[in-house]
């Protein structure tokens, strides 16, 4: 696991042809992809680990994954900085989130990725999950929705995965 500053996150996306909008990954209207917006507003906190696992597993058999946190501190009473920075330090990093908002994981590091995603969900942060090869991706908002997208060719399978959960589809 490594941590990336914003410039490294942008470079990661450009090198892998991940669509950007103002130096941040596009959230929707991505050429060759279809997406669906799901509500996570009423998702119980006790299922936070399940949702984190589901989001990371939905990325498929990815060789590498970038968790890019793009907004934090939106709901200060929800932030658990002690837990977050202890996790970062556990993985050998002492930088602040504003200095290195990117979290780069290899395939075998999915358990750590799942934990960081859970912290981001509980804290109410905005974040992107970007996988290589990019078949699936997601943007999760502090406004309690997730934009989940996949390649056109695998979208119907993706919708089936969503329908087998407690997630509520808001729009396609």
More confident residue, 162 or 110: 110
pTM recorded for the entire structure: 0.89
The residues pairing with 138 across neighbouring beta strands, listed in sequence order, are 129, 148
Q: Above 80 in pLDDT, residue 159?
A: no
pLDDT > 90? residue 134:
no
C-alpha to C-alpha distance for 170 and 40, rounded to whole angstroms: 10
Q: What is the pLDDT of residues 60-76, one digit of tens each?
A: 778 899 999 999 999 89
- Report the chain's mean pLDDT, rounded to a whole number: 86
Asked if residues 21 and 15 have their Cβ atoms less than 8 Å apart, the reply is: no
d(CA 10, CA 18): 9
30 and 76 Cβ atoms separated by less than 8 Å: no
Paired tokens of 55: 């989001």
Check if the beta carbon of residue 74 is closer than 8 Å to that of residue 87.
no
Cβ–Cβ < 8 Å for 144, 25:
no
End-to-end distance of the chain based on CA atoms, in angstroms? 33
Task: Write the DSSP assignment of 26-53 as a string of letters.
Answer: --S--TTEEEEEEE-TT--GGGHHHHHH
What is the Rg, in whole angstroms, of the alpha carbon atoms belonging to the chain? Answer: 15
- Section 87-113 average pLDDT: 96
């Amino acid at each position: 696991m490594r941590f990336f500053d914003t410039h490294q996150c942008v470079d990661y996306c450009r090198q892998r042809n991940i669509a950007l909008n103002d130096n941040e990954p596009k959230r929707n209207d991505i050429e060759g992809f279809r997406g669906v917006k799901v509500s996570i507003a009423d998702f119980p906190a006790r299922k936070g680990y399940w949702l984190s696992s589901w989001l990371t597993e939905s990325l498929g058999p990815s060789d590498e994954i970038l968790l890019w946190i793009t907004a934090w501190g939106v709901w200060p009473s929800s932030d658990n900085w002690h837990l977050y920075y202890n996790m970062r330090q556990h993985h050998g990093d002492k930088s602040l989130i504003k200095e290195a908002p990117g979290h780069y994981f290899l395939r075998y590091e999915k358990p750590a990725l799942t934990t960081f995603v859970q912290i981001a969900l509980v804290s109410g942060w905005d974040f992107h999950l970007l996988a290589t090869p990019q078949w699936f991706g997601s943007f999760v908002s502090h406004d309690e929705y997730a934009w989940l997208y996949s390649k056109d060719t695998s979208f119907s399978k993706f919708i089936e995965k969503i329908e087998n959960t407690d997630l509520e589809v808001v729009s396609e």
